[in-house]
Amino acid sequence: MSSSSATELVESLNQLNRELLSFSALLQLSKLPFWLPGATAKTLQQAAELYTDIWYRDGQDGRTTISQHGMIGATPELIKATQRLNHAKSVFQTVATHYRLSESAELQHELHKRSETIAGLLHRQGASRIHLKQCYRQIPVFETCPTKIGFSWYTSGRSIRKLTAREAEEKLLKMDTSQTHIQMQLQAVGQLRPGDMLAQIQKQVPVMRANPVWKQKDSTLRKAQNTSLPIIIALNSDNPCLPAYNEPPLNPPEARSRVERSDLKIDPQPFLPSLRAHRYLG
């Protein structure tokens, strides 16, 4: 990997660092109302630590991120700082993706050295391993204040990717084909008809969903979105009040909250368990 690649990556991380520090300082000076869930007292310093947390914690699964919902009242200056930070996040993600940072041990080492300095500036001793997903995720920001926001856990999420028989076979052949269960699945793939497709299903972790409502003179606007960080909300200087909101449980429900559709088109039993691949019905 060329030195120019590392230089561009480090500079984009430096810019992200500058925006993190600027945003954090401005946030902690705020005098506007905010809400963070939980029984224990919460402060804007704790909120700033959540927004600026871009490192792995000991034992943390790399596929997960540290998440918390809430609402932070914002001045126009904090709104702009949030937008600048989100832009810096996007730039860093673009550069890191271009240079395949997640696959380059050399570049990761360079950024880990740099992130030790960032950790020190943000008083995070011993934090040096960058968590890319937490770097990339955008801070939710509303430039106008909703009338109300309903928060609710979404526990039924899953991603579905279509697989051809050939693709499924190639994936199985990369596994230990000496195992009986792999051989049985290869035989099953061989019995598929030309053109048959499979659905590879990945269950997604529960997420908090915000359902804001803007009541206007002649209409009502709704815009649901997932939120892993407290929402930055522009407040009216004449009446700086947070929108009405509910307080959902801190932990997601264990049971599936959505009733299975009667017209489900995917066989609930996996056809190729090793690939989480199911057959389409009908």
60 has pLDDT over 90: no
Q: What count of residues does the chain have? A: 282
- CA–CA gap between residue 80 and residue 76 (Å, rounded): 6
Domain presence at residue 215: no
Q: Domain range holding 165?
A: 158-203+265-279
Contact 86, 139 (CB under 8 A): yes
134, 162: one domain? no
The pLDDT score that the predictor gives to residue 194 is: 82
Q: Using alpha carbons only, what angle is made at residue 54 by residues 49 and 56, rounded to the nearest 5 degrees?
A: 105
Query: For residues 129 and 159, is the Cβ–Cβ distance under 8 A?
Result: no
Q: Residue 127: its pLDDT value, please?
A: 43
Q: Are residues 102 and 236 in the same domain?
A: yes
The answer to whether the pTM exceeds 0.85 is no
How many domains does the chain fold into? 2
44 and 133 belong to one structural domain: yes
Give the pLDDT confidence score for residue 156 in this predicted structure. 67
Q: What is the tens place of the pLDDT at every residue in 96-124?
A: 777 766 555 666 665 655 555 544 444 44
Answer yes or no: is pLDDT of 1 > 60: no
CATH of residue 167: 3.30.54
Bigger pLDDT: 53 vs 214: 214
The whole-angstrom separation of Cα 8 and Cα 186 is: 45
Is the model's pLDDT at 12 over the cut of 50? yes
Beta strands in 117-247 (DSSP E): 141-142, 148-154, 158-164, 197-203, 207-215, 220-222, 225-226, 231-234, 244-245
Higher pLDDT, 50 or 282: 50
Residue whose tokens read 């609710």: 152
At residue 8, the pLDDT reads 78
